[in-house]
Amino acid sequence: MTGPQRAPRPPTMKEIAERAGVHTSTVSRVLRQTEPVDGWSEAARRIHEVAAELGYRPNPWAASLRTRRTTTIGAVMPRLTDGVVATIYQGAEQAARAAGYSLLLSSPPDDPAEQRAAIDLLAGRQVDGLLLSSLHSPAADYVADLGLSMPMVTLNRHADAKLPHAGGDDHRGGLLAGRHLLACGYRRLAVIGGPEHATTGRDRLNGFLAAMAEAGVAVSPDRVTHASFDVSGGIEAATRLFDNPDRPDAVFAVSDSIAIGVLGVARDRGLSIPDELGVVGYNDIPFAAQLPVPLTTVITPAHAIGAAGVQLLLALIDHPDTVPEDTILPVTLAARGSTRTVTADAR
């Protein structure tokens, strides 16, 4: 008489890796994935086939105990009401879900103390890593003072934090905006940067000034100003610029919301767009092309920034001794009705 049959031993990650001809860490990553964004790769399909042949069944609880991971990522993203930040979050959430991770979000006010409280809260939830958006610059000492050993990545604003970073090429975007305005024939140019603690606005402003320098066009100091990243900031800055007797004939605003404020002041003062005033914004928010005067703007790949940030963070989680290179994504300029027709090469 035979006794009860013992259940077969489940295969190990190493056994699956050897059979599939890949590294063990690759097997671990693939078997966590549930919803691949672009379908399974050939290697991933092979891993799943081998796992099925060997009778692999996932055990999330055992995996968590073994790896001391929660498969949860924390994200601190102030100003989530901003369409660009919200789109970055959507890209991050989709990429995290595709990799088998949950994204735990906190959206505090855009203030260092409030962000610190949010970071402490998420770290207390034992997340495997943190995505940090909109840190105030300089943030290197701030990050060091957090005293956290977990992987961290900055999104959108690098904030001089000396952490791996995913963002758009903001300096290039400012360069494109400046070159476009010059190619349209404008010469009395002004720029409205963001808050001085925001590296995105600073990099865009510096790119714009670089375009002026390469063309030999002087920008008066009183035409370089700063504002909050919203319509009211644009209104205040444009009012200051237009009160100057030597009014600029074009404005580069480092966010579309600032640019909308500029357009409002121009309308109230009876300025013709784009003949008397050209305006370029930044980010290409959803209704920028549907404004009464469609807004010329620099397009930021916001969704891709969020996804890239998650990929950087997962690389840090899987290989904590290796620092991945920053992911800087290209930007483009969309010329619309708020600027004149190009009269020269603006590339």
Q: What was the pLDDT predicted at 316?
A: 93
Instruction: Quote the pLDDT of residue 57.
Output: 67
Side chain identity, residue 166: A
Please write the tens of the pLDDT for every residue from 198-248: 899 999 999 999 999 999 999 999 999 999 999 999 999 999 999 988 899
168, 301 in Cβ contact below 8 A?
yes
pLDDT score recorded for residue 59: 53
Residue 58's pLDDT is: 62
Q: So what's the pLDDT on residue 32?
A: 67
Q: How far is the C-alpha of 16 from the C-alpha of 338, rounded, in Å?
A: 58
For residues 233 and 106, give the distance between their C-alpha atoms in angstroms, rounded to a whole number: 25
Distance between CA atoms of residues 87 and 299, nearest Å: 13
Residues of the chain with pLDDT under 70: 1-9, 32-40, 57-68, 344-347
User: Which DSSP letter does residue 289 get?
Assistant: G
Task: Provide the pLDDT for residue 335.
Answer: 97
Structural domains in the chain, CATH included, are 13-65 (1.10.260.40), 70-168+302-329 (3.40.50.2300), 170-301 (3.40.50.2300)
Closest CA to 330 of 164, 168, 204: 168
SS3 (DSSP) at 234:
helix
Cβ-defined contacts of 109-115 (< 8 Å, 24+): 109/78, 110/78, 110/79, 110/134, 111/78, 112/136, 112/142, 114/78, 115/76, 115/78
331: left (phi over 0), alpha (psi -120 to 50) or beta: beta
Greatest extent of the chain over all pairs of C-alpha atoms, in Å: 105
pTM score of the predicted model? 0.79
The helix or strand, by DSSP H or E, that contains position 165, with its residue range, turns out to be: strand 165-168
